[in-house]
A = this chain, B = another copy of it.
Amino acid sequence: MNLDSIIRGRRSVRKYQSRDIPDPVIADLLDLARYAPSSMNGQPWYFIIVRDDRAKGRLVKIKNKYCPAEKSMYKADFVQDAPVVIVVCVDHERSFNREVENAVLATANILLGAYEKGLGSVYMSAYKRDDPEVAEEIRRALDIPDGVDPITMIPLGYPDETPEPKEMGLLDEVIFHETFGKK
């Protein structure tokens, strides 16, 4: 698959086969993740591979507890059935005030790499800008020390659903020249 077909073909997958994911596949993915750019090349990433059912259960509970009303159709229960959940964390000091950016750039590589390897995944956040309790609870659940922030959590599994291709508007409607609104 070339980059275009990977980027265009990837969709969020929330239903997984019970089949496990071999460790080397996960290691490959995390190696890709850390080739992302990072502020000041700080490479601040830590990755926690969660396979334990009780740990997954704790993540589900935290995500559901803090799920805002507008996103309530996206309950986190399905995370329990993902064979693997990757929690992407960043070292605060080596992030140079760009914790979220650094974590999301690495996460983007995980999402694309997963699809290329035949895995399904979905982007989920492990913190909330306006409620530090979300990251705090995840921190406690996974023994994450102060100075390291969980930012995203990515369930992974061989897909057990085939999402429809994404419906897109006209590209011309979102591109401007020189200033906003100028065609």
Contacts and interface: CB of A to CB of B under 8 A. Distances in A.
B104 A108 contact: yes
B125 A47 contact: no
Contacts of A175: 27, 30, 46-47, 49
Interface string A111-129: 1110010000011010011
- Which of under 10, 10 to 19, 20 to 34, or 35 or more describes the interface residues of A? 35 or more
Could you say how many copies of this chain the assembly holds?
2
Interface of A: 1-4, 6-8, 10, 12, 27, 30-32, 34-37, 39-41, 43, 45-52, 55, 68, 70-71, 74, 89, 96-98, 100-101, 104-105, 107-109, 111-113, 116, 122-123, 125, 128-130, 142-145, 148, 166, 168-169, 171, 174-182
